[in-house]
Structures are given as C-alpha cells and as structure tokens.
Amino acid sequence: MWEHRVGAGNRRGGTMWGSAADDAVVYVPNVDTQLGPGKAGGLTALRLDTGAEVWSVKPPVPDCKVNDESCAPGQSAAVTVIPGAVFSGSTNGVMRAYSAEDGHVMWQFSAMGEPIMTVNGVAGRGGSINGAGPTVVGGMVFMNSGYAYGGDTPGNLLIAFGVE
C-alpha cells in the first residue's frame, strides 16, 4: 500500500528489532552507525494510512573522544509507545522518551559511565541498549542495558524508573 525509507540501511540492519504504533502513527527507529556519531540513529513517525512522514528526528550528537561506531547513537532497539511518548534506546547506552506529537526529547537517561549501585548492593554497569525495547507498566519504565555483539558495549543492568 505504501513504502517509506527511513535511513540508509547498513550491515547492522537499518531498522533492526522493531517499530511500534498507536492508532494513527507507526514509529520506526534507525541504526546507521556506519555514518558516524553526527549522522547515526534516528526515529521517524509515519502515518499508518498513507505512509506520509509526520516527523523525523536524529538523536543529539554525543560528545565522543573517538569518531567511530562505538560512539554512534544508532537506535537499533525495539521502540515502545505509550500515549504521548515513544521510548527509544541507542547503542551508546542512552534511553530517550520522545514526544509522540513532534519528536522532541522529553527525557533521557545514560546508562554508560559510572557504575550504578543495584538493589542488592552490587555495582552494575550499563552498556548498549539493543534488542528488546523498554517495558512500561504500572507507572514504571523497565529497560535493559548491556548488549555485547558486533561492536556494542556489554553491561548487566535492568533499570526501573518511576514517578516520584
């Protein structure tokens, strides 16, 4: 019925683990890490009925010491949509909530960097966000952080966020 390319596509898949939709729009993540930190990643909203682009955004350019795929914010993880927000994680360890209306970043969390103290008192490390998207249930957002395949950064965290 319609077709719309959201990125260049590459050996890492272009769109890899999955999109999500509400009643009118499908939200499609894109990897494109081969393009480097300034051009990698992206999230595109398309009308379900026509395929017309509603909006398309790139993630903020990371401040990297290296200019290669390990720093690039490819968005290969599956996305999760809830009313008003689209959650999309990146291979450089950042989870963002984008406005479903216009794609602006409403919230973000970086799981990379300093160790994070876990509920059982063991320091955990975040890594690439890849594969499954976050789960949103009961006013909480649950996300994994750490994926060790093909240049991604390993880690060992399941992180939960709630409203104070």
- In this predicted model, what pLDDT tens digit does every residue of 81-133 receive, in sequence order? 999 999 999 988 899 999 999 999 999 999 887 888 889 999 988 888 888 89
In a domain, 147, yes or no: yes
Q: What's the domain range around 93?
A: 20-162
Q: How many domains does the chain have?
A: 1
- pTM for the full predicted model: 0.90
| For residue 37, pLDDT beyond 80 | no
In a domain, 39, yes or no: yes
In a domain, 143, yes or no: yes
What is residue 65's predicted lDDT score, i.e. its pLDDT?
66
Residue 51 CA: distances (Å) to CA of 31, 41, 47, 113, 137: 20, 20, 5, 39, 29
In a domain, 29, yes or no: yes
Instruction: Please give the Cα distance from 115 to 118 (Å, whole number).
Output: 9
In a domain, 2, yes or no: no
What is residue 13's predicted lDDT score, i.e. its pLDDT?
62
In a domain, 9, yes or no: no
The CATH number of the domain where 104 resides is what?
2.40.128.630
Q: Any idea which residue has 């890849």 for tokens?
A: 130
Judge contact between 42 and 63, C-beta under 8 A.
no
